[in-house]
Structure 1
Amino acid sequence: MKHKSNNLEYYTQKPGVGISLIVTLFSSIFLIGALLSKESEYNSYQGIAFLSLICEFIYGVGVSFMLLRNKETYIHLAPFLILNWLIGCFSLNVFIPVFQDLPIWVYFTTVAFCVSNFFIYSNSDESRSTSIAFFINGLSFLLILYFAIYLIPIMPFSFLGIIALGLGFYGLVPAIVIIIHTITILRYINRDKNYVVSFSGGILVVVISLIVFTAGLNIESRKINQFGRINSFDQNSELPYYISISQNLKPNFFNEILLKKDLVYIPLHDIFDFRTFDSFGSKQFNERKIHNPFISIAYLFCKDLNLDNDDKINILKSNFDKRLETEEQLWSGKDLFTKTIKEDVKIYPETRLAYTEITMNIACEKDTRGEKEAIYSFQLPEGSVATSLSLWVNGIERKGVLTTKEKAKAAYKQIVGVEYRDPSLMQWKEGNKVVVRVFPINYKTPRTFKCGFTTPLKVEDNQMKYQSLSIKGPNISNAETTSRIQTVGNTKIETSKDFELNKGYYINQSKGLDDWEAYMPLTKVSNSFAWKNKIYEVKDIQKTTIPFKPSEIILDLNSSWTTKQIESFVELNKTNLFVIVNGKKKEINKDNFKAIELEFEDLHYSLLPLYEISRNSLIITKCGTFSANFEELEDSNYLKKIRTETKDRNLKVINISPDINPFWQTVKEQKYVDFFQTSLKNSLDLIHKKQFVLFKTDTNTVNIPPANISITESPQTSAIKTNGPNHIYRMYAFGKVLEEQVKIQNDSLVQNQYVDLAKDANIVTPISSLIVLETDEDYKNNGIEKNVDTLGNASINNDGAVPEPHEWLLIILGSTILFFYYKKHKKQTI
C-alpha cells in the first residue's frame, strides 16, 4: 500500500499533472451539471455544457502541442487528454445530440476505460494490477470502438466543423482515441502474454454477452413473426392483425425490448434522423427515448417485427400493462415524485362496502424548471366506483364538479393546453381503472390532491375481504405513506401487513404503497339510505338456479388451463362439447383433447366470436389477468358485431378462475352474456344437473356479485330505518349506468338521463368525469354547472343521510328554538 502511495505521489509531481487534475475536475463537474440540468429541462443547460467545452478546448490544444513537441516528457498526460476529449464529446452531445440520450451505464463504462488507461499508460511493472486494468480496458474498449464507427457518417461534417468553429473536432475524437489506444495496446501486450489474455478476456466477455442477448432477441422476434405469418391464413378479418400476436405473446424481457424499438430504444438506422419522437403513430407513448448501444447493435441482427408503432403500443398496453404510459400527456411529467401518501379506509361491515380516500402530495426534483403534469392510474377492485376528487388551489381545497366526460376533457385541454392554469381531471377507464391528472406542478409549487373510491367487500369463505388499491404514478416507491383503517361498529379485522390499534384506528406507516388486504367475519346485511323520497336498501343477493340445457358447450381454452381441468369436462361424455380453433368450431373428446390442448399452449387470452356462437350456448372460460379491451378494439368489425349481434343470443358464461381480464369484465358489466364465477367442481355439477345460476334482477335492483349483495330502490316509508352511508346510493347509481351502457352508446336521450343520475350520485362512469377548476368563472366559461342538490363529493367523515328539504326546515327551526332557549336560560342564571 505504501508503495502504491509513493507511486501516486510521484505521478502527481510530474509536469502538467496538477493542472490536468484541476481541468478534469471542473470539466467533469460542468458535464454532470449539464446532464442533470438537461434531465430536469433546465433552460440554461447549454451554457453549462459550453463551459466544459471551453475548458476542454484550451486544455486539449495545449496538451496536444506539448505532446507533439516533447513526447517523452509529456507522454504521461495522454490518459488525461483522452479523458478530457471524451468529456468534451459528451458535453457537446448535451446541446448537439449526435449521440442522443444515453443510458447511465455508457458514462460509467467510459469512465472505466479512461481510469484503466492511467494504469496501462504508466509503464508500471506491477503485472497483477495492470492485468486487471487490461481486463477492464478490454470490457470498455468496444464501446469507444462503437462510437468511432457510429460517427463515420458525420466525419465529413466534422472536418468542416473544425474549420468553422473547432467543435467539429469532437466528431473525430473516438476514431483518434481508437488509433492512439490501439497502437499503445499493441506495444504493451508484446511485453507480457498476461496482458493479451486479460485484454482479450474483457473483449470476449462483452462479445459473448452481446451474442447471448442478440440470440434471445432473435428467438422472440422469429416467434412473433411466425405468429403473424401463421395467422395471416386465417380468413377472419374481423380482428386487427396485432391481436393474434398479442394473444400468443407471453410477456418477457426480450419481447418488451423488441416492441419498444422506435418507441423507446432508438435503432441505428434512425440515429441521424433528427425527427421528434412524438410522432411515430397516432398513439402517444410516454417513456424517455434512449440510444442504448448494446440494444442498437442487437437490433441489427434481428428481423423487424411486421407491426407498425400503433400496433406495438396496443400490445404493450394489453400484455405489459402499459396503459398509463399511453395516456395523452399535454405537458411533461419528468422529475415528478410522490412525496407523501395518506391512505384512509372506512369499512361498513353491515353494508359490505368500504370507502377509501387517497391524499397525495406531488413535488418536483430540485432545480426543475417548467410546469409539469402528473398522471396517476388507480386499479380498483371489481365493482368499485370513484366518488370524490379535490385539488388544493392556493392552500384551499376545491372539490370536484361532475359533468359529462366530453365537457370535462375539453375544459381540461383548454385550461392546461392554452391557459396553463390549475385543473385536475378524473376519468373512468375500462378494466376497473380510473385516471387522475393534475396540473401545474413545479419545484416552488408542489400540489396536493385527494380522491375517493367506494368499493365492495369481497365475500370469500365466510369472510369479507377489503383489497387495497393498486396505484401507478410519478415515483411512488419512496413516498412516506400513512395508512389508517376504521370500521363502523365493533368488527375485528386482520390485515396482511402490520397495523397497530391506536385510539380506535388501525395505523401503519411505511414507504411506498404496498398491496395489502384486510379480513373480517361475514356480517349479515341490514342497512339502507334515503335520498329524494326513495329508499336504497342493501339485501343479500338473490341467486336463482334455472334449468338450462345448453345447445353447445364451448371450452374457451388458453395456456392457463391444465390437462386435468380439460379432462374433467371431456369425461362428461357430452356430444355437444366444442372448442373454437382459428375461428372455427371443433369437437373435443377423450381421443383428441390432448392434441387440441397443444394448439392452445401459447394462447394467453382469447377473443371468442360471441356473435357466431349458437344461441343458448354455455361457455366455460378460465381468465388470466391481461387481454385487449374494448377501447383497443374500438375500430374493429369484431367489436361492432359483439355490440350488435351478441346480446340476444342468450349466452351463458362460467368462469372457473378467481381472476377476470379486461375483455370479459366489460362483456360482463355491459350484460352481453349471463356471467357466473365459480369453482371447477361447481361448474361440472351445474352441467351435470343441466342448470345455471343467475342473479335475480329487477328494474329497481342492482346486483353487486363480489359482495354478494343487491341494492333495491323503493318509495320512502317511515317503516324503514335509514341509517346507512350514502355510498349505498352511489353504488346503486353506478350499477345502473353500467347496466344501461349498451343503450347509452346509441341513444343521446338515454345518455342524458344517466348523466343526470351520475351527477346526482357524484360518480365517475363511462359517460361522466370529475373535474376541479381554479375559479367558479372557469366552470361557467366551459359550460359546466356546479353540483346543486346532489350528493356531492364523498368524504371519510361525512357519509350519512342527507336531509330532505322539509327536514332542513325542521332542523333550522329546531336550532332557532334551542338558540333562544339557551340565550334566555343564560340571562336567568346571570
Structure 2
Amino acid sequence: MNTTMKNKLDLFKNYTQKTGVTISLAVATFSTILLISSLSCKKMFFYNFDSIVIISLVIEFIYGASLSFMILRDKERYIHLTPFLILNWFIGCFCLNIFIPVFNDLPIWVYFATLAFCLSNFFIYRNSEDEYNISIPLFINGLSFTIILYFAIFLIPIIPVSFAAILALGMGFYGLVPAIVLIIHSLTIIRHLSHNRNYSLSFGAGFLIVLVGLTIFTIGLSLESNKIAKVNALNSFSSDSDLPNHIAISQNLKPNFFNEILLKKGIIYVPLHDIFRLGGFDSFGTKQFNERKTHNPFIAIAYLFCHDLDLSSDERINILKSNFDKRLETEEQLWSGEDLVTKSIKEDVKIYADARLAYTEITMQIASTKDSSLDKEAIYSFQLPEGSVATSLSLWVNGIERKGVLTTKEKAQAAYKQIVGVESRDPSLMQWKEGNKVVVRVFPINFKTPRTFKCGFTTPLQVEDNEMKYKSLSIKGPNISNAETISRIETVGNAKIKTTKDFELTKHYYINQSEGLDDWEAFVPLTKNTKSNSFAWKDKIYEIRDISKSVVPFKPSEIILDLNSSWTIKQIESFVNLNKKNVFVFLNGKKTAINKENLRAIELDFEDLQYSLLPLYKITPNSLIVTKCGSFSANFEELEDSDYLKKIKTETKQRNLKVINISSDINPFWQTAKEQKYVDYFQTSITDCLKLINQNQFILYKTEKNTVNIEPAHISITENLKTDSLKSKGPDHIYRMYAFGKVLEEQIKIQNETLANNQYVDLAKDANIVTPISSLIVLETDEDYKNNGIEKNVNTLGNASINNDGAVPEPHEWLLIIIGSTILFFYYRKSKQTI
C-alpha cells in the first residue's frame, strides 16, 4: 500500500515538473475557486462574486489563447497541457453563463459531470512514453462524454453568432468550445480505442450506461405522458361539462416524480424548443410560478419523446396547486423573492388546557444573502390546524416593533400594492386563504437590512380519546431548512405534556433548539372543567361549554358513496351489504346504482381517482353522502370560473344534504363546503357510520344564534349579556374564536353584501382576526394609514400576545389597580426624599 502511494506521488511530482504544468495548475485552481464561489452565492445565497468572475474570464482568455498557440506551434512539447486547456475552456463557459445565461440555470450534477470529464482527460492525454492502464479513466470519460456531446449539439444554433462575437473580447469563442472539444477528444479517443480492446469496452460501457439510464427515464416519462393524454382524450367524451378539463386530469393524477416534471414543462424545466425563444421563459400564462427556471439536459431530451399534455400553463399550474401543494409558489409577487433566506425562527406556544385552546407566536428573521441593488419581497404560507385563526402581526421598522392594523381585505390589499408596487417602502400584509392557510408578505428586504416579523395564531386543541393534541404549524417560505430555531412551550395551569419532539423542562418552560422547522405534536390530558372559562368583552361575556350533539332521525332518500382510490374493497362491500336499494355512486358524472353484481367493476373504475368532486346540485334532496377524504383536492379558488362552482353555490344549500367522512383527513373542497354550510358534516369511523345508517339517524352539532361550535376541541362558545355573577377568567382567545366562527358561518351572506354595510367586518376588527373579509397590515408611518383610508385599532382587542393571558380587568378592578399604583408612586417618592 505504501509503495503504491509512493509511486503515485512520484508520478505526480514528475508530472508537475513538466513544462507549463505549475502555472496551469495555478490558473485552473484559481479559476475553479472563483467559479464555485460565484455558483455558491447564486445557489446557496452568500455573496455576489460576479465582478471577480470577470477577472477570471480575462485570465482564462489570456491563458487559453497563449496555451493554444503553444500547442499548435510545438505539439510534442505541450500536448500534456491539453487537459488544462479543455478544463479552463469549460470553466470559462460556465463563468460566461453567469452573465449571458445561454445554458440558463444548470443542475449541480452537470458541473460534476463536466469536472469528471476534464479530470479523466489528465490520464488520457499523457505522452506516449508514460504507458499505464487507463481503463478506469476511460470508463469515467465515457460516462461524462455524453454531457459534452449534449453541449455541442445544443449550441449548434448559435455557432454563427459565436463566430461574430469572437471579435468582442473573444467571448464568442466559448460558444464554440463544446464543438471544438468534441472534435479533438473524438480523435484522441479513437486513437486509444484502436490500440486496446479493453479500452473500447471501458469507454463504451460508461457511454452506454448513460444512454440506458436516459432511455429508462424517457420511457417512464413517456408512459406517464401517454397516461395523461389518455385521460384527456376520454374526458373529451364526457357529458359532464361543468368541470374544467384540467380538473378531470387532476382527479386522475396520482402525484409522482414523473408527472410533476411533465406539468412543469416550460414553467420550471425549459424544453429544448424554448431555449432560444426570446421572452419564452416568462410568458407562459396569466398565473405566475415563483420558482427558478432550470435547464436539465436529461429532462430536456426526454421531453422530445413525450406527448404534449395539451394543457395551457395556467391549467398545469392549477394541477400543481391541487395535487402537489404548490399554492405558495403561485402567489402574486410584486418583487423577486430570490436570494432570501430565513435566518432564525422563534416558535412560542402557550397552551390554555382548561379552555382547550393554544396561542402560537412565530417570530422570523429574513435576510437577503446577495448584495443587490434591488429590494426583495418575502412570502410565507402558514398551514393551520382546522378551526385556527390568525390574531396578530408585527413588523420591526427601524428597530421598533409596529403592530398590525386590521382592515377590510380590499383596503389592505390596495394599500400593500400601492406602497410596495409604487412607493417601494415598508409594509407587511397577512391574508386569509382557503383551506386553513394564511399568507404573510414582508417588504423590503435587502443584503444590508434583514427584516424581522412576528405573527400569532389561536388554535383549538384537538380532542382525541382522553387527551388533547396540539399540532405545530406547517410553514413554507424562503429557505427555512437551515434556520436557527428555538421552540418554547408554556402551559397555563401547569398541565403535564408529552411531545413527539425532545423538549427540555427549564424554569417552567419546555425548550427545544434545532435547525429548520420540524413537524411535532404535544399531548395534554383532557380537561373536563371547561365551564369555568369565560371572557368578558364590552357588555357581553363569552363562555366555553362542552359541545352539544344531538342524534336526529334521518332516513336518507339516497346514499351516495363518494368513491376514490383510498377506498378499500371491504369498505365498499360493507355499504353494499346493507342490502339497501338506494345506494349509488357518481360514475362519469352520472348516478349509477351499486350492488353486489357490479361492485368490483365499479371499484376498478375508481382505482385511479385521487379525489372526487361530486355534483352536489344533482343529488336528490335529503340524501346522505359517505366520503373518505385524502389530504388534497382542488379548492373553490381553482374552480372559481367553472359552471360547477356556480351551481354548487346556487343549488346546493337548499337540498339538505348530509355528509359523513369516514377518514380523519379533510381535503380543501370538503373543508370549504363544511365551513360555508353547504352541507351538514360529521366525521366518524366507518363502524359508527354504518350504525347510524342502520338506525336511520344522523348526528348534528346543535347550533344557536349566539353560539359557535369549535368541533376539533369538542367545545362551543356562547355569547351572553354580562352579569355581575359571571367573571372573566379565561384568555381573550375565547372571544377571537367566537368571532372567527361567526364570520365563517355567515360567509355566504357576506358574499352577497357590500363590505361597507356588513356587520361582520366590524366583528372581525373588534376581535382583530384575519378572515375571508379582513386582513392585517403593518405600514411604515401613521400617515400611511390615513392616506390609504385605514383606521387604526380603537377600542378593539388589538393584536394577541404571548405575554397576555387576555383576562380584561372588571371596572372595580381597574379602580383598585389605579389606587394601588398611586399609593406605590407616592410611597416611592417619599422613600426617595428620605434617602
Contact 1:335 1:368 (8 Å CA) reproduced: no
SS at 1:529 equivalent: strand
Coordinate RMSD, CA, aligned:
2.1
Q: Name 2:500's counterpart in structure 1.
A: 496
Task: Note if 1:774 corresponds to 2:787.
Answer: no
Q: Name 2:397's counterpart in structure 1.
A: 393
Instruction: State the AA in 2 paired with 1:73.
Output: R
In structure 2, the CA distance between the partners of 1:499 and 1:820, relative to structure 1 (3 Å rule), is closer
Counterpart CA distance in 1 for 2:348 and 2:47 is 40
Instruction: State the AA in 1 paired with 2:634.
Output: A
In structure 2, the CA distance between the partners of 1:20 and 1:823, relative to structure 1 (3 Å rule), is closer
Q: Name 1:612's counterpart in structure 2.
A: 618
* Aligned residue pair count: 829
Q: What is the aligned-residue identity percentage?
A: 73
Q: Name 2:432's counterpart in structure 1.
A: 428
Moved more, 146-155 or 89-98: 89-98
What pairs with 1:386-465 in structure 2 (closer than 5 Å)? 386-465=390-469
Q: Name 2:380's counterpart in structure 1.
A: 376
In structure 2, the CA distance between the partners of 1:435 and 1:823, relative to structure 1 (3 Å rule), is closer
| CA shift digits 1:570-623 (9 cap, x unpaired) | 110011000000110000111111111100000010000001101000000000
Task: Note if 1:747 corresponds to 2:753.
Answer: yes
Instruction: State the AA in 2 paired with 1:679.
Output: S
Contact 2:755 2:761 (8 Å CA) reproduced: no
SS at 2:35 equivalent: helix
In structure 2, the CA distance between the partners of 1:202 and 1:813, relative to structure 1 (3 Å rule), is closer
Q: Alignment partner for residue 166 of structure 2, among 162, 167, 174? A: 162
Q: Alignment partner for residue 262 of structure 2, among 258, 262, 274? A: 258
Counterpart CA distance in 2 for 1:531 and 1:677 is 33
Task: Note if 1:135 corresponds to 2:139.
Answer: yes
Contact 1:344 1:358 (8 Å CA) reproduced: yes
Q: Name 1:297's counterpart in structure 2.
A: 301
Counterpart CA distance in 2 for 1:31 and 1:403 is 49
Contact 1:41 1:368 (8 Å CA) reproduced: no
Q: Name 1:721's counterpart in structure 2.
A: 727
SS at 2:411 equivalent: helix
Residue 357 of structure 1: how far off its partner (Å): 0.8
SS at 2:195 equivalent: coil
In structure 2, the CA distance between the partners of 1:821 and 1:101, relative to structure 1 (3 Å rule), is closer
SS at 2:332 equivalent: coil
SS at 1:190 equivalent: helix
Q: Name 2:486's counterpart in structure 1.
A: 482
Task: Note if 1:670 corresponds to 2:670.
Answer: no
SS at 2:266 equivalent: coil
Q: Alignment partner for residue 766 of structure 2, among 760, 764, 774? A: 760
Task: Note if 1:792 corresponds to 2:798.
Answer: yes
Q: Name 1:710's counterpart in structure 2.
A: 716
SS at 1:712 equivalent: strand
Residue 809 of structure 1: how far off its partner (Å): 6.6
Counterpart CA distance in 2 for 1:596 and 1:320 is 27
Residue 27 of structure 1: how far off its partner (Å): 2.9
Q: Name 1:814's counterpart in structure 2.
A: 819
In structure 2, the CA distance between the partners of 1:200 and 1:826, relative to structure 1 (3 Å rule), is closer
Residue 83 of structure 1: how far off its partner (Å): 1.4
What pairs with 1:73-222 in structure 2 (closer than 5 Å)? 73-123=77-127, 130-163=134-167, 165-222=169-226
Task: Note if 1:630 corresponds to 2:636.
Answer: yes
What pairs with 1:322-337 in structure 2 (closer than 5 Å)? 322-337=326-341
Q: Alignment partner for residue 699 of structure 1, among 702, 705, 708? A: 705
Q: Alignment partner for residue 696 of structure 2, among 690, 700, 706? A: 690
In structure 2, the CA distance between the partners of 1:580 and 1:803, relative to structure 1 (3 Å rule), is same
Counterpart CA distance in 2 for 1:58 and 1:817 is 82
Counterpart CA distance in 1 for 2:239 and 2:752 is 30
Counterpart CA distance in 2 for 1:296 and 1:411 is 42
| CA shift digits 1:399-445 (9 cap, x unpaired) | 11001111111111122222222111111111111111111222222
Residue 549 of structure 1: how far off its partner (Å): 0.7
Residue 92 of structure 1: how far off its partner (Å): 2.3
Counterpart CA distance in 1 for 2:97 and 2:828 is 79
Contact 1:560 1:622 (8 Å CA) reproduced: yes
In structure 2, the CA distance between the partners of 1:502 and 1:43, relative to structure 1 (3 Å rule), is closer
Counterpart CA distance in 2 for 1:466 and 1:44 is 42
Instruction: State the AA in 1 paired with 2:711.
Output: P
SS at 1:435 equivalent: strand
Q: Alignment partner for residue 609 of structure 2, among 595, 599, 603? A: 603
Residue 365 of structure 1: how far off its partner (Å): 2.3
Q: Name 2:656's counterpart in structure 1.
A: 650
Q: Name 1:309's counterpart in structure 2.
A: 313
Residue 36 of structure 1: how far off its partner (Å): 4.4
Q: Name 2:12's counterpart in structure 1.
A: 8
| CA shift digits 1:614-667 (9 cap, x unpaired) | 100000000000000011111111111111110110000000000000000000
Q: Name 2:558's counterpart in structure 1.
A: 552
| CA shift digits 1:371-409 (9 cap, x unpaired) | 222111111110000000111111111111001111111
Q: Alignment partner for residue 581 of structure 2, among 575, 578, 583? A: 575
Instruction: State the AA in 2 paired with 1:714.
Output: N
Counterpart CA distance in 2 for 1:493 and 1:56 is 63
Instruction: State the AA in 2 paired with 1:774.
Output: E
Task: Note if 1:588 corresponds to 2:601.
Answer: no
Q: Name 1:240's counterpart in structure 2.
A: 244
Counterpart CA distance in 2 for 1:260 and 1:414 is 32
Counterpart CA distance in 2 for 1:819 and 1:22 is 76
Q: Name 1:62's counterpart in structure 2.
A: 66
Residue 127 of structure 1: how far off its partner (Å): 7.9
SS at 1:635 equivalent: coil
Contact 1:647 1:673 (8 Å CA) reproduced: yes
What pairs with 1:12-31 in structure 2 (closer than 5 Å)? 12-31=16-35
In structure 2, the CA distance between the partners of 1:528 and 1:169, relative to structure 1 (3 Å rule), is same
Counterpart CA distance in 2 for 1:656 and 1:224 is 30
Contact 1:38 1:45 (8 Å CA) reproduced: no
Moved more, 277-286 or 683-692: 277-286
Instruction: State the AA in 1 paired with 2:315.
Output: D
Residue 721 of structure 1: how far off its partner (Å): 2.3
SS at 2:355 equivalent: coil
In structure 2, stretches of 5+ residues that fail to align are: none
SS at 2:709 equivalent: strand
Residue 159 of structure 1: how far off its partner (Å): 2.1
Contact 1:41 1:370 (8 Å CA) reproduced: no
Contact 1:40 1:369 (8 Å CA) reproduced: no
What pairs with 1:343-354 in structure 2 (closer than 5 Å)? 343-354=347-358
What pairs with 1:533-552 in structure 2 (closer than 5 Å)? 533-552=539-558
Q: Name 2:524's counterpart in structure 1.
A: 520
Residue 822 of structure 1: how far off its partner (Å): 3.9
Counterpart CA distance in 1 for 2:559 and 2:212 is 52
Contact 1:41 1:369 (8 Å CA) reproduced: no
Contact 1:559 1:600 (8 Å CA) reproduced: yes
| CA shift digits 1:491-525 (9 cap, x unpaired) | 21111122222222222222221111111221121
In structure 2, the CA distance between the partners of 1:189 and 1:125, relative to structure 1 (3 Å rule), is farther
Contact 1:40 1:367 (8 Å CA) reproduced: no
In structure 1, stretches of 5+ residues that fail to align are: none
Instruction: State the AA in 1 paired with 2:84.
Output: F
Residue 18 of structure 1: how far off its partner (Å): 2.2
Residue 88 of structure 1: how far off its partner (Å): 2.0
